[in-house]
Structure 1
Amino acid sequence: MGAKREIDDLLNEFLQLETDEQREQFRGKIAQTLADKTAEEKREFGEALADNAKETIRQSVALIGEYHFKQALNDIIPAVTWSYIAEEYFQKSRSWLSQRMNGYHVNSKAAAFTPEEINTLADGLLDLSERIKKSAILLKGHRF
């Protein structure tokens, strides 16, 4: 069995554990698994484990970024016409924007904004906010 597959199987087994006793028994299984390996197998095992850890960190960073992105927009999502934003600032459809905002899968891959698209969205929201502010100031100065 390949080291990556073995790591994945052990991780899946670990995730099924429910009690401290089961986890303690599992630690013994891991110790025995490592004791039975040659130096080369231990090296491969360690590399596969490190690769899994790096991928988990990468996924975690992506989830944190997605969370922060959604939190930044949380207050304005119900107030903004997203189809207008999509068309005015991206020359795209509302569905295109929605796919990226919600991470929907397109062609078997999660849709996401590029850094340039995030800047475009931020610039568009700033432009729109300035236009709203200008309208509010004009209304305050208008006498009926």
Structure 2
Amino acid sequence: MELIDKIFPSAEMKAEFQQYESLQTDGQREAFFSDLQSKFASESKEEHAERVNKALEAGQNAVEELHSLIILKQLESVSPYISLAEISRKYFGKSRGWLSQRLHENPVRGKIMKLKPDEVKTLQTALIDIADKLRNTAMSLSFT
């Protein structure tokens, strides 16, 4: 699923965004916004309320998507050294692919799977536990 499909809750919003993205000059962008303002000024209160709600939903979707990308980016530096399959099994009690599916937002039975806030906290706890184990093991090593 494309990022634009994840963020914008309506086809109209997607189309407006794509139209704006295609504009190349400040004049074109100003004309685009002027046309939108005219369109919005002629809306009924109900249409305006619906558009505002969809804009809020798009904002929330963008925040959630950014949060997911941040988690993946943060794990990037340590993922070669840890087993996501083992973390999934030991800390979540789930199958080896469960955590990877959620980190990469893979669809499962038609539904996009994401980490919930409490699962992010569990992942954080797991990484801290692993870091402590690594530190303790490193400190116990000796050359005697």
Same fold (TM over 0.5): yes
Listed one character per residue, the Cα deviations across residues 73-108 of structure 1 (whole Å, up to 9, x for unaligned) are 121011111111111111211211110111111232
* Structure of higher RCO (CA pairs closer than 8 Å, 6+ residues apart): 2
TM-score norm. by structure 2 comes to 0.73
Listed one character per residue, the Cα deviations across residues 5-33 of structure 1 (whole Å, up to 9, x for unaligned) are 76666556555545555545545544554
Superposition RMSD in Å? 2.7
Q: Aligned partners of 2:70 and 2:85: how far apart in 1? A: 22
Q: Larger Rg: 1 or 2?
A: 1
Contact 1:86 1:93 (C-alpha < 8 Å) held by counterparts: yes
Listed one character per residue, the Cα deviations across residues 106-133 of structure 1 (whole Å, up to 9, x for unaligned) are 2322211122222221111111111111
Question: What is residue 52 of structure 2 aligned with on the other side?
Answer: 50
Ranges of 4+ aligned residues in structure 1 off by more than 2 Å: 4-35
Q: Aligned partners of 1:34 and 1:65: how far apart in 2? A: 31
Q: Aligned partners of 2:123 and 2:37: how far apart in 1? A: 51
1:70 and 2:66 correspond: no
Extract unaligned runs of 5+ from structure 2: 1-9
Q: Aligned partners of 1:7 and 1:99: how far apart in 2? A: 28
1:101 and 2:103 correspond: yes
Equivalence map 1:88-127=2 (5 Å): 88-127=90-129
* Bigger shift: residues 95-104 or 10-19: 10-19
CA distance 1:134–1:34, change in 2 (3 Å): closer
Matched letter for residue 74 of structure 1: E
Extract unaligned runs of 5+ from structure 1: none
CA distance 1:17–1:116, change in 2 (3 Å): same
Q: Aligned partners of 1:70 and 1:83: how far apart in 2? A: 15
Q: Aligned partners of 2:16 and 2:50: how far apart in 1? A: 12
